[in-house]
Amino acid sequence: MGNQTTLFSSFFLQLCIFLTLVACKRQSTPIESAVPIAAISVNVKHPPDTQHLKPLLASLHQQLENYRRIMVLLTDDDVHTSRERVTSTQVGQMLFNEGLNQRAAFSKRIDTLLTSGAVNRFDTLTIMLDYIESAPELYDADRLAFRETLNDLDARISHDSALPAIKLRQRIHEDLDALTQIEHTYNQEITRISNSFDHNRGIVLKREKWDDYMAYLRRSYTRKMILRDYAVIEADPISIEGSELEVFGNELPFKTLVLTFDDGPHRVYTNEIKAILQRYAVPAVFFEVGRNLGRLDRAGKPRLGPLSKISHELMEQGYAVGNHSMTHDLLSKLSGTALRREVMDADTMLRAVDERRAPLFRFPYGARNAEGLRLLAEIGLKSVGWNIDSLDWADPVPNSVVRRVLAQVAKKQRGIILFHDIHDRAVKALPQILDQLIADGYQFAGWDGHGFSVNHSQAIKVDTDDTGRGTTAIHSWATVIGVDDYIKWPKLKYAANDADAIANTLIESLGFPSSQVILLKNREATRDKILAAFNGQLANGRIQKNDRLFVFFAGHGATRRPSFGPNLNYIIPADSNPANFADDAISMTEIQNIAKNFEAKNVLFVIDACYSGLDFTHGETETGARWRTSNNRMSRQMLTAGAADQPVTDRGPNGHSVFTWVLLQALSGRADFNDDGLITGTELAAYVVPAVSAVSAQTPTFGNLAGSQGGEFVFEIPRREGVLTSQTAQLLVDKITLNRRVGSTNSTLGAKQVRQNATVLRSATVKNLQASEATLSLLPTGKLSKRQLAQRANDLGLQLYKEKRYMEAADKFSEALELRPNFALAANNLGFVYFRQGQYAQAVRWLENTLKIDPSRAVAQLNLGDVYLRLNNKDKARKAYTIYLDLQPQGSGAKQVRMKLTKL
């Protein structure tokens, strides 16, 4: 969509609030249960036909829900950016067109009921009118949603001369009169005129409290949730406006306007609008939906319907009629054959009506993509946008539409105005608009076969991002030790499991080659073998100058207190004797000496045992622009699970100690405070130390060993596929509980991710290796690419999903899509989260979006099959499962899918 500035009057803001009700539910709420039939008290001659009444009432309720959502979506338009206004309008138009489909289905149900000849058919309609007139949860503004429904009902019973039909028509006319009075009521709200109304109508008018609606609105709706329900994520768009392929109206001469009308033809309103245009001698362009004109048979030949005559008459009388797609789908999400058919099939229908159709195209909702524009250029169609939106599809009060259009025209002084010829609001508003614009000296341009006026081209603008920075490590080495099965010391339970998990994380997630990770467990972890592992890495120059070395130990630690001098601390190998550990354990002094001898630039020791009192340096971590310099410096850092004589728990969630569990969470990405795809030793400590302290009695320590030059050990966070399916494991209750406590603790440290161009430094206070307090500075780095940020958001969404924090996970997947709209993985994951919450319509939308982005994404077919199976749509489930097997015959879900297919 082009540049679009939507001006809302204060009245419209008030009206939007009036359209939100206490009874409003999320769209996933079953519609059938929304309007209890028994709750409507009426006097009827015959019991109603519940088989017809229930879906009719459900349809009314759904129409109302969409109507409210449109109003709420647009109510705070003045605080949004131009891009956000475009998105709100697009989603609002989706809701509006969904409402049109609902009304069409409603009319078919009415026809079925009336043609049934059932003796209670009018009693059924009476109860339906009772709902519209007197349902206690409805407010005056809500009833405006039913104007077209009442008009359709009136038309359908107008030829019936039976007394019940005559009485119903009289009642419908009274209701329509009451709706006109409601319009007048809200028109008066604009000028804050207070009147009291006393009308003896079927719809009893009432005044509504502003504050009550405002309070409800804030409780019940968020714009973001409405957008997400309709599979729309706001993103920084690729600007294609102003190219030679399309026109928006900003190029028109001063005080020149083009009138356009979308979504027709309509059996009544199109001709009424044409009559108004003829009266004022004003040209216009009508953009029509192909399916309204007829259909294509199996051979691809057009079969015109009755509404095509209206379209033909428009062309006969000199009005331009353009293409608005075949089905009014969201074309920006389509590509290839599907996109081509939407454009070409509608063009086939228009040519069948009259070869004089205008070579103009308007994308539904204004949502277009570069492929769509290229297609139009290929077949000789020009895209026509707009820069003035009447919002007649959203605003139920014609006078409000008039004010909005005039205000926008006064501001822009030129442009293309968007109206719709499928409801009476444009019919009522158009004469007032034309009167004022003509009086103000505006002229109206029409399509002359070549254009409206000069169209200035502009180069396509494509966003580019920085690639970010990586680590300078050449090779990565690790020694990982875990001892449960001590020979003479008390046995532990989780240390070996901790070592396994750390080694797997290093190899599978953090890029450490398995050949360069030494794992020693239990009886293998003797003093001699541990020292041999270190010495082996030192020997023959295996570790080079720019390499990094990570050392992890989980097991017992001990402290010896000599009669004089500092305490001496040890890690305990499997074969140590408690009576003589000073001789057969490994002292921290020995470890420091080993660390000094390593050629590796960066060394990080992580010790899940209790001790302290190490010699450490007081150098602070470098910040600001000096980070790159410090990253080239040598680092010797240590993170310990607890201080001297402090109990370090061996028991925690999932067979890990609390310390190691938190460490694993940190390494999964949570310690990436500045969201740059890297975790430094300082960031690791800033996450782990307060988190462990908050959930246990131990206080981890962190600091630099002697010989450190102020550098940083750096982990690169993995680029995981991270896809959600029914096979994705979730955490057990104890892990979820601990993670939430940890997350709560770290939120106080600024764990909320830093976005691009951040300049604020944050800090965390931890215990250093001598148990004194030290302050760690957490540094935001340079601008990150959107791809990096999107991946981070997706990864965090996966973590939140595993903790069953579905709404937060959905927020993160949405964030990923905002940053990277073609991120098929995040779209799949968002769809799956909806599926797990039982919101199947939204799940289908997002999974279908995934396949539009990437048709080869097999997992989306798998998930789509699961959704359809839950909806008991066996045909669609079978189709999705079959495509999955075609794409991934040996996939992880293939066996399960084949079993499901045998039952379908």
Q: What is the CATH number of the domain that holds 840?
A: 1.25.40.10
Residues 324, 279 share a domain = yes
What does the block give as tokens for 427? Answer: 């019919």
Give domain status of residue 848, yes or no: yes
pLDDT tens-digit series, residues 61-79: 888 888 878 777 766 544 4
Greater confidence, 219 or 117?
117
Residues 262, 180 share a domain = no
- Highest average pLDDT, of 308-322, 427-441, 741-755, comes from 308-322
Give domain status of residue 788, yes or no: no
Q: Tokens 């050949």 — which residue? A: 515
Residue 888, class by beta-carbon neighbours within 10 Å (0-12 exposed, 13-18 middle, 19+ buried)?
A: middle
pLDDT at 565: 59
Residue 619: pLDDT over 70: no
Residue range(s) defining the domain that contains residue 252: 246-444
Greater confidence, 602 or 234?
602
| CA-wise closest residue to 573 among 614, 532, 517, 616 | 532
Residues 331, 403 share a domain = yes
What does the block give as tokens for 322? Answer: 């353009």
Residues 292, 212 share a domain = no
Residue 110: pLDDT over 50: yes
Residue 796: pLDDT over 80: yes
DSSP structure string for 123-187:
HHHHHHHHHHHH-TT--HHHHGGGHHHHHHHHHHHTT--SHHHHHHHHHHHHHHHHHHHHHHHHH
Residues 840, 774 share a domain = no
Give domain status of residue 460, yes or no: no
pLDDT bin (cut points 50, 70, 90) of residue 234 is low
Mean pLDDT value across the chain: 76
Question: Lowest-pLDDT range, 72-86, 132-146, 523-537, 782-796?
Answer: 72-86
pLDDT at 632: 59
Residues 676, 600 share a domain = yes
Average the pLDDT over 182-211 and give the result.
44
Give domain status of residue 153, yes or no: yes
pLDDT tens-digit series, residues 446-468: 998 877 853 322 222 223 333 33
User: What angle in degrees, to the nearest 10, is found between the helix axes of 269-280 and 308-316?
Assistant: 10
pLDDT at 790: 84
Percent of the chain whose pLDDT exceeds 90: 24
The b-or-e profile of 707-726 (16+ CB within 10 A means b, else e) is bbebbbbbbebbeeebbbbe
Give domain status of residue 1, yes or no: no
Greater confidence, 850 or 142?
850
Residue 648: pLDDT over 70: no
How far is the C-alpha of 572 from the C-alpha of 231, rounded, in Å?
56
Greater confidence, 568 or 36?
568
Sign of CA dihedral 656, 657, 662, 667: negative
What does the block give as tokens for 806? Answer: 């579905």
Residues 494, 430 share a domain = no
Residue 19: pLDDT over 70: no
3-state DSSP assignment of residue 860:
helix
pLDDT at 626: 36
What does the block give as tokens for 55? Answer: 């879906």
Q: What is the CATH number of the domain that holds 732?
A: 3.40.50.1460
Residues 554, 481 share a domain = yes
pLDDT bin (cut points 50, 70, 90) of residue 50 is confident
Using the 3D structure, point to which of 422, 444, 466 is the last residue of a domain.
444
Residue 241: pLDDT over 70: no
- Highest average pLDDT, of 120-124, 265-269, 638-642, comes from 265-269
Question: Lowest-pLDDT range, 12-21, 358-367, 565-574, 667-676?
Answer: 12-21
Give domain status of residue 796, yes or no: no
Using the 3D structure, point to which of 175, 204, 229 is the last residue of a domain.
229
Average the pLDDT over 373-398 and give the result.
88
Residues 435, 510 share a domain = no
Helices and strands, counts by H and E, the chain: 31, 25
How far is the C-alpha of 575 from the C-alpha of 485, rounded, in Å?
10
Question: Ramachandran region of residue 855, left (φ > 0), alpha (ψ -120 to 50) or beta?
Answer: alpha
Residues 525, 414 share a domain = no
Give domain status of residue 463, yes or no: no
| CA-wise closest residue to 538 among 596, 604, 497, 611 | 596
Residues 632, 535 share a domain = yes
Residue 880: pLDDT over 80: yes
Residue 718: pLDDT over 50: yes
> How many other β-carbons are positioned within 10 Å of the β-carbon of residue 443?
14
How far is the C-alpha of 303 from the C-alpha of 741, rounded, in Å?
64
pLDDT bin (cut points 50, 70, 90) of residue 42 is very low
pLDDT at 858: 85
Average the pLDDT over 539-551 and give the result.
79
Residues 436, 503 share a domain = no
Give domain status of residue 164, yes or no: yes
How far is the C-alpha of 769 from the C-alpha of 613, rounded, in Å?
6
What does the block give as tokens for 502? Answer: 């750390």
pLDDT tens-digit series, residues 829-846: 999 999 999 999 999 999
Our count of domains for the chain comes to 4
Percent of the chain whose pLDDT exceeds 70: 72
